[in-house]
Structure 1
Amino acid sequence: MKKMSIGFVAIIAIIFTLAGCGNKKPDYTASTAESALNANKDIEGKTVQFKVNKVVPNSAFGYNLETGKHLNFVSYENPKVNKGETVTVKVKKASSSVGSWVISYTNLKKD
Protein backbone atom coordinates (compact mmCIF):
# COMPACT_ATOMS: atom_id res chain seq x y z
CA MET A 1 0.00 0.00 0.00
CA LYS A 2 2.84 2.37 0.84
CA LYS A 3 4.45 1.76 -2.58
CA MET A 4 1.17 2.60 -4.31
CA SER A 5 0.92 5.88 -2.40
CA ILE A 6 4.48 6.85 -3.36
CA GLY A 7 3.81 5.91 -6.99
CA PHE A 8 0.59 7.94 -7.02
CA VAL A 9 2.34 11.01 -5.60
CA ALA A 10 5.13 10.66 -8.19
CA ILE A 11 2.62 10.48 -11.06
CA ILE A 12 0.76 13.56 -9.79
CA ALA A 13 4.08 15.47 -9.51
CA ILE A 14 4.99 14.56 -13.10
CA ILE A 15 1.57 15.68 -14.37
CA PHE A 16 1.90 19.09 -12.67
CA THR A 17 5.44 19.49 -14.02
CA LEU A 18 4.38 18.72 -17.59
CA ALA A 19 1.32 20.97 -17.37
CA GLY A 20 3.52 23.90 -16.32
CA CYS A 21 5.89 23.42 -19.27
CA GLY A 22 3.25 24.28 -21.85
CA ASN A 23 2.13 27.57 -20.28
CA LYS A 24 5.20 29.80 -20.51
CA LYS A 25 4.31 33.39 -19.72
CA PRO A 26 5.52 35.98 -22.26
CA ASP A 27 8.27 38.38 -21.20
CA TYR A 28 6.29 41.47 -22.21
CA THR A 29 2.87 42.74 -23.20
CA ALA A 30 2.57 45.46 -25.87
CA SER A 31 2.42 48.12 -23.17
CA THR A 32 5.40 46.88 -21.16
CA ALA A 33 7.46 46.27 -24.33
CA GLU A 34 6.82 49.82 -25.51
CA SER A 35 7.79 51.20 -22.10
CA ALA A 36 10.96 49.11 -22.08
CA LEU A 37 11.92 50.29 -25.58
CA ASN A 38 11.25 53.92 -24.65
CA ALA A 39 13.54 53.42 -21.63
CA ASN A 40 16.30 52.17 -24.00
CA LYS A 41 16.07 48.57 -22.78
CA ASP A 42 17.02 45.75 -25.14
CA ILE A 43 14.10 43.37 -25.76
CA GLU A 44 15.75 41.34 -28.53
CA GLY A 45 15.22 37.62 -27.95
CA LYS A 46 12.29 38.29 -25.60
CA THR A 47 8.67 37.27 -26.18
CA VAL A 48 5.87 39.81 -26.54
CA GLN A 49 2.15 39.05 -26.38
CA PHE A 50 -0.21 41.55 -27.98
CA LYS A 51 -3.61 42.07 -29.56
CA VAL A 52 -3.41 42.99 -33.24
CA ASN A 53 -5.04 46.42 -33.68
CA LYS A 54 -4.46 46.65 -37.43
CA VAL A 55 -2.93 44.51 -40.19
CA VAL A 56 -1.18 46.42 -43.00
CA PRO A 57 -0.14 43.88 -45.67
CA ASN A 58 1.65 46.31 -47.99
CA SER A 59 3.70 48.53 -45.69
CA ALA A 60 7.27 49.60 -46.50
CA PHE A 61 8.43 46.81 -44.16
CA GLY A 62 6.16 44.07 -45.51
CA TYR A 63 3.30 42.79 -43.36
CA ASN A 64 2.84 45.17 -40.44
CA LEU A 65 0.96 44.19 -37.29
CA GLU A 66 0.15 47.42 -35.45
CA THR A 67 -0.43 47.46 -31.70
CA GLY A 68 0.12 49.74 -28.72
CA LYS A 69 0.72 53.43 -29.28
CA HIS A 70 3.70 53.16 -31.63
CA LEU A 71 4.54 49.46 -32.10
CA ASN A 72 4.84 47.87 -35.54
CA PHE A 73 5.68 44.17 -35.71
CA VAL A 74 6.89 43.54 -39.25
CA SER A 75 7.62 40.53 -41.45
CA TYR A 76 7.97 39.89 -45.18
CA GLU A 77 6.00 36.65 -44.72
CA ASN A 78 2.23 36.68 -44.35
CA PRO A 79 1.53 36.12 -40.63
CA LYS A 80 -2.02 34.93 -41.42
CA VAL A 81 -3.60 36.79 -38.51
CA ASN A 82 -6.55 39.15 -38.35
CA LYS A 83 -7.36 42.33 -36.47
CA GLY A 84 -8.43 41.51 -32.92
CA GLU A 85 -6.42 38.29 -32.58
CA THR A 86 -3.92 37.92 -29.74
CA VAL A 87 -0.48 36.64 -30.70
CA THR A 88 2.90 36.02 -29.10
CA VAL A 89 6.15 36.64 -30.99
CA LYS A 90 9.87 36.45 -30.29
CA VAL A 91 11.61 39.77 -30.99
CA LYS A 92 14.41 39.57 -33.52
CA LYS A 93 15.31 43.26 -33.79
CA ALA A 94 13.77 46.54 -32.67
CA SER A 95 14.58 49.97 -34.08
CA SER A 96 13.03 53.41 -33.86
CA SER A 97 11.81 55.06 -37.05
CA VAL A 98 9.95 58.39 -37.25
CA GLY A 99 8.60 58.15 -33.70
CA SER A 100 7.48 54.52 -33.96
CA TRP A 101 9.10 51.21 -33.13
CA VAL A 102 9.68 48.81 -36.01
CA ILE A 103 10.12 45.29 -34.65
CA SER A 104 11.05 42.21 -36.66
CA TYR A 105 10.06 38.91 -35.10
CA THR A 106 10.03 35.13 -35.34
CA ASN A 107 7.93 32.32 -33.86
CA LEU A 108 4.49 33.91 -34.17
CA LYS A 109 1.91 31.92 -32.20
CA LYS A 110 -1.80 32.64 -32.00
CA ASP A 111 -3.11 32.63 -28.43
Structure 2
Amino acid sequence: MKKVTKIIAIISTIFCLTVIISACGQKKADYSAKTAESALNSGKDIEGKTVKFKVQKLEPNSAFGYNLETGKHLNFVSNDNPKVGEGDTVIVKVKKTTSTMGSYIITYSNLSKQ
Protein backbone atom coordinates (compact mmCIF):
# COMPACT_ATOMS: atom_id res chain seq x y z
CA MET A 1 0.00 0.00 0.00
CA LYS A 2 2.88 2.40 0.75
CA LYS A 3 4.27 1.83 -2.76
CA VAL A 4 0.93 2.72 -4.38
CA THR A 5 0.64 5.90 -2.31
CA LYS A 6 4.23 6.83 -3.17
CA ILE A 7 3.63 6.26 -6.90
CA ILE A 8 0.45 8.37 -6.80
CA ALA A 9 2.33 11.16 -5.01
CA ILE A 10 5.11 11.09 -7.62
CA ILE A 11 2.65 11.14 -10.53
CA SER A 12 0.72 14.01 -8.92
CA THR A 13 3.92 15.98 -8.41
CA ILE A 14 5.00 15.47 -12.03
CA PHE A 15 1.56 16.54 -13.26
CA CYS A 16 1.58 19.69 -11.13
CA LEU A 17 5.07 20.63 -12.27
CA THR A 18 4.08 20.13 -15.91
CA VAL A 19 1.07 22.44 -15.50
CA ILE A 20 3.13 25.09 -13.72
CA ILE A 21 5.94 25.01 -16.29
CA SER A 22 3.56 25.21 -19.25
CA ALA A 23 1.67 28.12 -17.64
CA CYS A 24 4.92 30.04 -17.18
CA GLY A 25 5.56 29.87 -20.93
CA GLN A 26 2.24 31.50 -21.80
CA LYS A 27 2.34 35.20 -22.59
CA LYS A 28 -0.42 37.27 -21.12
CA ALA A 29 -1.73 40.20 -23.12
CA ASP A 30 -3.04 43.52 -21.83
CA TYR A 31 -6.02 43.39 -24.21
CA SER A 32 -8.00 41.04 -26.41
CA ALA A 33 -9.19 42.35 -29.79
CA LYS A 34 -12.60 43.12 -28.31
CA THR A 35 -11.29 44.99 -25.25
CA ALA A 36 -8.70 46.86 -27.35
CA GLU A 37 -11.39 48.04 -29.74
CA SER A 38 -13.60 49.12 -26.81
CA ALA A 39 -10.67 51.00 -25.27
CA LEU A 40 -9.97 52.80 -28.54
CA ASN A 41 -13.67 53.62 -29.02
CA SER A 42 -13.70 55.23 -25.57
CA GLY A 43 -10.61 57.32 -26.36
CA LYS A 44 -8.01 55.35 -24.39
CA ASP A 45 -4.40 55.15 -25.53
CA ILE A 46 -3.20 51.56 -26.01
CA GLU A 47 0.28 52.39 -27.33
CA GLY A 48 2.90 50.23 -25.63
CA LYS A 49 0.27 47.66 -24.61
CA THR A 50 0.00 44.08 -25.88
CA VAL A 51 -3.01 42.73 -27.74
CA LYS A 52 -3.88 39.08 -28.30
CA PHE A 53 -6.12 38.36 -31.27
CA LYS A 54 -7.09 35.82 -33.88
CA VAL A 55 -6.28 36.85 -37.46
CA GLN A 56 -9.65 36.93 -39.21
CA LYS A 57 -8.29 38.09 -42.56
CA LEU A 58 -4.82 38.64 -43.98
CA GLU A 59 -4.35 41.35 -46.63
CA PRO A 60 -0.70 41.25 -47.77
CA ASN A 61 -1.13 44.02 -50.38
CA SER A 62 -3.11 46.64 -48.48
CA ALA A 63 -2.30 50.35 -48.76
CA PHE A 64 -0.67 50.10 -45.33
CA GLY A 65 1.41 46.96 -45.95
CA TYR A 66 0.68 43.54 -44.48
CA ASN A 67 -2.70 43.95 -42.80
CA LEU A 68 -3.93 41.54 -40.12
CA GLU A 69 -7.65 42.25 -39.77
CA THR A 70 -9.61 41.38 -36.64
CA GLY A 71 -12.58 42.67 -34.69
CA LYS A 72 -14.98 45.09 -36.36
CA HIS A 73 -12.48 47.81 -37.30
CA LEU A 74 -8.99 46.72 -36.21
CA ASN A 75 -6.16 46.58 -38.73
CA PHE A 76 -2.73 45.57 -37.43
CA VAL A 77 -0.25 46.60 -40.13
CA SER A 78 3.43 46.09 -40.82
CA ASN A 79 5.83 46.53 -43.72
CA ASP A 80 7.36 43.16 -42.84
CA ASN A 81 5.73 39.82 -43.64
CA PRO A 82 4.29 38.61 -40.32
CA LYS A 83 4.47 34.96 -41.47
CA VAL A 84 1.07 34.12 -40.03
CA GLY A 85 -2.18 33.09 -41.66
CA GLU A 86 -5.91 33.46 -41.21
CA GLY A 87 -7.05 31.71 -38.06
CA ASP A 88 -3.70 32.09 -36.27
CA THR A 89 -3.70 33.64 -32.79
CA VAL A 90 -0.98 36.21 -32.15
CA ILE A 91 0.17 38.69 -29.53
CA VAL A 92 1.61 42.03 -30.65
CA LYS A 93 2.92 45.14 -28.91
CA VAL A 94 1.17 48.29 -30.14
CA LYS A 95 3.54 50.97 -31.47
CA LYS A 96 1.09 53.53 -32.86
CA THR A 97 -2.64 53.81 -33.46
CA THR A 98 -4.39 56.04 -35.98
CA SER A 99 -8.01 56.28 -37.04
CA THR A 100 -8.74 56.33 -40.76
CA MET A 101 -12.17 56.16 -42.40
CA GLY A 102 -13.81 54.49 -39.39
CA SER A 103 -11.09 51.90 -38.83
CA TYR A 104 -8.09 51.75 -36.55
CA ILE A 105 -4.71 51.35 -38.24
CA ILE A 106 -2.33 49.91 -35.66
CA THR A 107 1.39 49.45 -36.19
CA TYR A 108 3.01 46.89 -33.96
CA SER A 109 6.20 45.10 -32.97
CA ASN A 110 7.15 41.87 -31.20
CA LEU A 111 4.64 39.61 -32.93
CA SER A 112 4.51 36.16 -31.37
CA LYS A 113 2.35 33.34 -32.64
CA GLN A 114 0.43 31.43 -29.99
- Using the size of structure 2 for normalisation, the TM-score is 0.79
Structure 2 gap segments, 5+ residues each:
1-18
- Using the size of structure 1 for normalisation, the TM-score is 0.81
- In structure 2, which of residues 30, 34, 37 is the aligned counterpart of residue 34 of structure 1? 37
Root-mean-square deviation over aligned CA pairs: 1.7
1: distance between equivalents of 2:46 and 2:65?
21
Superposed CA offset, 1:11-60 (max 9, x none): xxxxx997665334100000000000000000000000000000000000
Matched, 1:91 2:94: yes
Distance 1:20 1:79, change over 3 A: same
Structure 1 runs of 4+ off > 4 angstroms? 16-21
Secondary structure of residue in 2 paired with 1:37: helix
Secondary structure of residue in 1 paired with 2:84: coil
How many matched pairs? 97
Which position in structure 2 is the counterpart of 1:101? 104
Secondary structure of residue in 2 paired with 1:78: coil
How many Å apart are 1:74 and its aligned residue? 0.1
